[in-house]
Chains A and B, each alone.
Chain A
Amino acid sequence: MVALPFTAGKAADRGGRPSPFQLLIANRLSAAGLAILALIVTLAFLTPILPLPDPDITDPARRLLTPGADGHLLGTDHLGRDLLSRLLWGTRVSIVVGLSATLIAAIVGSLIGLTAGYAGGRTDSVLMRGIDLVMAFPYILLALGIVAVLGPGLLNALYAIAVVNIPFFARNIRGMTLGLSRREFVDAARLSGASHPAILFGDVLPNVLPTIVVTMSTTVGWMILETAGLSFLGLGAQPPQADLGSMLGEGRKLLFTAPHVSVIPGLMIFVLVMSINLVGDGIRDVLDPRLKSGALAAPGAATAVKRETVPEKPATGAVLSVEGLSTRFQTGSRVYKAVGGVDLDLAPGERVGLVGESGSGKSVTALSLLRLVPTPPGTITAGRVTIGGEDQLGASVEDLRRLRGGQVAYVFQDPLTTLHPLFTVGQQIVEALQAHQPLSRRQAEARAIELLERVQIPSAKARFEAYPHELSGGMRQRVCIAMALANDPELIIADEPTTALDVTVQAQVLKLMRGLSEAQGSAVLFITHDFGVVSELCDRVAVMYAGRIVEIGPTQDVLDTPAHPYTRKLIDCVPVLGQPERRLDAIEGLPPPVDRLPPGCAFAERCPIAEPRCRESEISLNGLSAGRAVRCIKPHGVAS
């Protein structure tokens, strides 16, 4: 214990991961559990040498003394035996019995699991059918049946509890082993001529050991509880031997006259099991973090906004006006500036492409507009998003709700994960309609079928009843588009809506979106990494890099004369039909990590024409010609 601060300091110096024990102690509840458990175990261990009366000496003259009585700290029972002494001796028995049952269950269950997982085939199915059968019994009932066969007694209760817990180990270990025995290092051991037991215990077992420990630590409390239960029923420890359960069972008969005789051992079981569960949860979180339930934060209804200043209301007639938008993600001590000050306007009916590599911040920009970035870890830290004349970063949740799917609609990337798997597509469209319009069920259904027809879904009436998994990818995306169109939005934000689709389907969906936007006059903000898609669909294009717009302008101008070196590289990546000899250059290097952005141009490291002054200070977005701007000090085609 004395060495702890020292090791903690060392771990911090290394900057590495803290040891499992440190992690366990860092969890305050687990640390408390460990302290209580250590105290109980120490007391139980020292019981034989503590100055206590013999637990079995009866003294009828001093029976049923209440706690605090002279010489008997916790009082006496119906035979005048000292309760404190009996409690500690009983705790000893309960701990030993619980641990033994856990060990037996762990060893037998793990052996079954290892064998089944490693052997596979018929051995596996026979063993696992047996395990399934054991699990088909209500847990305690099977234990009762076993005790019935073996006869009441502490040892038999121990066996019974061990047997009914074997399936937990067998199942967990089998799953792990199954995965491991297909791995290369096991194949290598097999080829080197090692025997099966040698592989199983030498190579596989060390890898499943953490799982065994986790399963033990999460079941041992339960096993102590259950063996105590059997003793309580009179089927475990037999007099004069006593564990906590049998003490409780005996005390029950005196419930009305001397409640302390049953309350005290029960309290001990409770505290013991709770401390074990606390430690067990801690061990599980440390050794197997994937099992830590609910550790990851679930996002709320809207992204948190923490701005120091709010930019002035812009004097434009734009559907969407974005100024200085910044969004950050914070995990631990790291801050990722995913969006670092984006300015963008969309005129009514205009289609603008937002282009960039993955990680450039284009999707986060799109989600930030209606505060759909998950918080935590996301926070909008600066800027203003003006839609319908109002600053939406300051809007109430209800105002935001009216806007979402109403004036502004989203279409997301993967239609399989973005549609709810448990509702029919019809229900989902109806819901979008009813969220914004006072329609009756029947009206909404009729309108939903109309929408499905409008996105060219064949036999729309029948498809209305379909679940998402029953439709193809292209059909699903059409459903998403229908849902977006439900309330005649002024602006559709489409976040890579064609990326997850087949090439032929992509073209159809693009054509559909173009047609619908023209027919309806909706503006479209189209997020993509594909310049080919942009040239098909968009009037203007904005190129993003490392959280910022580096070039913006009319699509054709930017395609013909890209000014930023990054834009040029991106355009070079697009294959052109009929030009097979054209060289496709991948862009060398990677974008800078957005938690460690350089002071100057973020692209400088990958730029073929970078100079020292590019790296010195921030570079602003400078106007080039009408409607064009670029964030570069040496824009291509412009004399500097």
Chain B
Amino acid sequence: MWIYIGKRLIATVPILLGLSVIVFGMMALIPGDPATAILGSYATPENVERLNSQLGLDKPLVEQYFIWLGNLLQGDMGRSYALNRPVADEVFERFGATLVLAGASLILCSIFGLIAGIAAAVRQFGWTDRIVTFLVLIGISTPSFWLGLLLIMLFAVELQWLPASGMFAIYGGGGPLDLLRHLAMPAVTLAVVATAVIARLTRAAMLEVLRQDYIRTARAKGVSERRVIYRHAFKAALVSVIPVIGIQAGFVLGGAVYIETVFQWPGIGRMLVNAISTRDLLLVQGGVLVVAASYVFFNLIADVAQTIVDPRLR
């Protein structure tokens, strides 16, 4: 098992390098002079020239990449001129908030998606199944940014149960209860689409598994129906559902962009949107890179979890 994890860890290195090439390449593709793009059109010529040599833009592209990569590995992602602080500091501070939001959503969508999918499969063609199928359809068709607004109107404006925004820092502040109050609506909103996708695939996987011979064997040896469903069928279905949950990690990390904007959550998504508007491209670069790298690790976790469940993959 540990050997397997080690191998998988090593296999992430080329993926991470590939990501860095793409992210670096994007900056190189920006039309016009990058320094002007970074500093904005009101930059003085001296500043532009200084930045050009600072960034090593007078060197060949390949060399630039390796210099950039070397800095990156030392935790140096450059400096945000709009915020006047190192990109790495800003990105990691924001990333913590996004991770809390995305993690909460991922937990929610896994739990509810699995429960709904199993319930629908067990009562195939029954009312539970129809209701779940219908909710799944609504879930995958709802724009999350709109749903967030509707929830704010209901729970913050009408009922005044939960705050619409006002989350400033993850650590300190109002303590865990306050964090939960602020987290509830954004996490639920972000989880809706992923829950629907997981429910749909869990249902399909369960139905597929329930037709297998080994389920008949379990019934033939007198195992209770509960155990047949929740132990035999569910474990087998999990093998195909786990990678789907891994993919949902990507959708949740990306979807956080909308949710953080709607609920004013101080995460990396909102930072990215602002950075794009202000053309703070080093900040965009750092943010995209960190979130993409974290997605690679979410997928790694999913792979390992799948291997733990399925001994045939070892």
A interface vs B, CB < 8 Å?
A: 129, 132-134, 136-142, 144-149, 152, 221, 225, 228-229, 232-235, 248, 252, 255-256, 259, 262-263, 266-267, 269-270, 273-274, 277-278, 293-294, 296-299, 301, 370, 372, 374, 397, 401-406, 409-410, 412, 414, 417-423, 431-432, 435-436, 467, 469, 480, 483-484, 486-487
Question: What residues of chain B lie closer than 8 Å to A436, measured between beta carbons?
Answer: 222
* Distance, CA A420 to CA B19, complexed state (A): 39
Is B36 an interface residue, CB under 8 A from the partner? no
Whether A229 lies near B18 (C-beta < 8 A) is: no
* Distance, CA A139 to CA B223, complexed state (A): 43
Whether A138 lies near B276 (C-beta < 8 A) is: no
Whether A269 lies near B217 (C-beta < 8 A) is: no
* Distance, CA A38 to CA B239, complexed state (A): 40
Contact A294:B220 (CB < 8 A) given known A148-B284, A277-B141:
no
Question: What residues of chain B lie closer than 8 Å to A435, measured between beta carbons?
Answer: 221-224
Is B5 an interface residue, CB under 8 A from the partner? no
Choice from B19, B121, B221 contacting A404 with Cβ under 8 Å: B221
Question: What residues of chain B lie closer than 8 Å to A255, measured between beta carbons?
Answer: 149, 152-153, 157
What 9 A-B pairs come out closest when comparing CB atoms? A266-B146, A140-B254, A405-B222, A293-B204, A405-B221, A298-B210, A274-B141, A138-B250, A138-B254
Whether A294 lies near B121 (C-beta < 8 A) is: yes
28 contacts between A and B (CB under 8 A): A137-B288, A138-B249, A138-B253, A140-B251, A140-B255, A144-B276, A145-B23, A148-B275, A248-B143, A248-B146, A262-B149, A270-B142, A277-B141, A294-B124, A298-B121, A299-B216, A374-B211, A404-B222, A405-B221, A406-B222, A410-B217, A412-B213, A412-B216, A420-B236, A421-B236, A422-B310, A423-B235, A435-B223
Question: What residues of chain B lie closer than 8 Å to A487, measured between beta carbons?
Answer: 222
* Distance, CA A116 to CA B132, complexed state (A): 39
Contact A431:B143 (CB < 8 A) given known A137-B292, A139-B251, A235-B273:
no
Whether A152 lies near B276 (C-beta < 8 A) is: yes
How far apart are B83's CB and chain A's nearest CB, in angstroms? 16
How far apart are A156's CB and chain B's nearest CB, in angstroms? 11
Question: What residues of chain A lie closer than 8 Å to B239, measured between beta carbons?
Answer: 422
Question: What residues of chain A lie closer than 8 Å to B312, measured between beta carbons?
Answer: 421, 467, 469
Contact A293:B200 (CB < 8 A) given known A147-B276, A404-B221:
yes
Whether B311 lies near A467 (C-beta < 8 A) is: yes
* Distance, CA A406 to CA B204, complexed state (A): 32
Whether B149 lies near A277 (C-beta < 8 A) is: no
Q: How many residues of B contact A (CB 8 A)?
A: 80
* Distance, CA A229 to CA B296, complexed state (A): 24
Instruction: Identify which of B70-78, B172-180, B256-264 touches chain A.
Output: B256-264
* Distance, CA A264 to CA B250, complexed state (A): 29
Question: What residues of chain B lie closer than 8 Å to A234, measured between beta carbons?
Answer: 273, 277
Whether A404 lies near B220 (C-beta < 8 A) is: yes
Is B100 an interface residue, CB under 8 A from the partner? no
Q: A129-B18, A298-B210, A422-B239 are in contact. List 15 more A-B contacts (CB 8 A).
A: A138-B253, A138-B292, A144-B284, A145-B26, A145-B288, A221-B141, A229-B143, A255-B152, A262-B149, A270-B146, A293-B203, A293-B204, A298-B121, A417-B214, A436-B222
Contact A299:B211 (CB < 8 A) given known A233-B273, A262-B149, A266-B146:
yes
* Distance, CA A419 to CA B197, complexed state (A): 30
Is B48 an interface residue, CB under 8 A from the partner? no
* Distance, CA A388 to CA B277, complexed state (A): 79
How far apart are B147's CB and chain A's nearest CB, in angstroms? 8
Question: What residues of chain B lie closer than 8 Å to A274, measured between beta carbons?
Answer: 137-138, 141
Choice from B18, B143, B150 contacting A228 with Cβ under 8 Å: B143
Is B207 an interface residue, CB under 8 A from the partner? yes
* Distance, CA A304 to CA B240, complexed state (A): 30
Whether B141 lies near A419 (C-beta < 8 A) is: no
Against A, the Cβ 8 Å flags (1 = close, 0 = not) of B284-314 are 1000100110011001000000000111100
Whether B214 lies near A149 (C-beta < 8 A) is: no
* Distance, CA A267 to CA B276, complexed state (A): 28
How far apart are A66's CB and chain B's nearest CB, in angstroms? 15
Is B13 an interface residue, CB under 8 A from the partner? no
Choice from B146, B200, B207 contacting A296 with Cβ under 8 Å: B207
Whether B257 lies near A233 (C-beta < 8 A) is: yes
Is B15 an interface residue, CB under 8 A from the partner? yes
* Distance, CA A484 to CA B121, complexed state (A): 29
B258, closest chain A residue (CB) = A229
Whether A139 lies near B217 (C-beta < 8 A) is: no
Contact A263:B150 (CB < 8 A) given known A274-B137, A277-B137, A299-B211:
yes
Whether A139 lies near B124 (C-beta < 8 A) is: no
Whether A233 lies near B223 (C-beta < 8 A) is: no
Question: What residues of chain B lie closer than 8 Å to A301, measured between beta carbons?
Answer: 219, 225, 228
Whether A136 lies near B143 (C-beta < 8 A) is: no
Question: What residues of chain B lie closer than 8 Å to A278, measured between beta carbons?
Answer: 137
